Amino acid sequence: MSVIIGFRRRDLLSLSALALLTPAAFAVDGARLYQEAAAQVNPVGGHQSKVALGTSIVKLTQAGVIDRHKLEAIYTQGGGDAQELTEILDKTSRRPILLTAQNARLYVNLLWPLGLANRMASNSASPVNGASLMNFASTGGWTLGREANGGAYFNKFPIVELTSQQEALVTKMAQGIFRPCCNNSTFFQDCNHGSALLGLLALGAAQGLSEAELYREALSFNSFWFPDHYAHIALYFKVVKGLDWSAVDARTALGTIYSSASGMQTIVLSELQKRGLVTRQKGTDCSA
């Protein structure tokens, strides 16, 4: 008699039911399964983070890394609340971030300059710190500061004060967390999402979050920044591994196997394709 360890009876029944479905049956039910996965990844009420912006955005604005007029212009053009942004730029925020589908893009633009400009000793070894510094999407693409090229701000200001232990944790985690727009780790912050997530990790570490909490925050923010990608990952874990999204280890999901562009293609989409479960994917570029 074979014994399966680590699964509850409900999980075994769920897996058995999935195993009985043919690829054609999966295709018919694919839209519903995808929507269920997407709802877990991006809940309607958003993600209630444990991380607050603190004084970081005020300091970035005072240092010119954020030009308030430029940021206010693009925010209000997109239908954002000008008063909300004014308070973020002018006042210390002790309230933890509530990340939603509606404000996800705003938090990319707030955390991006933080990850870019915040001084960490380990950034001296960053892959962007070289002859091409001014030419990355994260540096040359940051045009919402006073300088014409955001590369001028790289690793320049002590915005978030970290102990040596906290910086070591942030660096270690950043080296192992990937994003679906490329095959680079967060430590290789060559795009806006890489810089933004690095900024988030620094804030969270400085505010005392544990390693496990930081991984969960990183997965939640990545999921709102790349919703289609992570909905497919959640679907993969459900139908291939028999795991609900809430039970998936955040560190595993953020690693190169699942969160990198190549991992998505060779592992996740390959398995879902066999079951007729790949929906039409949206892009995973760095435009939002």
Residues 192-216 pLDDT 10s: 999 999 999 999 999 999 999 999 9
> Which pLDDT tens digit goes with each residue over 41-63?
999 999 999 999 999 999 999 99
Inter-residue contact 34 to 57 (CB < 8 Å): no
Our measurement of the distance from residue 139's CA atom to the centroid of its chain's CA atoms, rounded to an integer in Å, reads 18
**How big is the chain, counted in residues?**
288
The alpha-carbon radius of gyration of the chain (Å, integer) is 20
Return the half-sphere exposure (C-beta side, CA atoms, 13 A cut-off) of residue 78: 15
For the chain, where are the alpha helices, taking DSSP H only?
9-20, 23-41, 56-62, 68-77, 82-90, 104-117, 164-176, 192-206, 211-225, 227-239, 250-254, 256-259, 261-263, 270-274
* pLDDT > 70? residue 7: no
164-176 and 211-225 helices cross at what angle (nearest 10)? 40
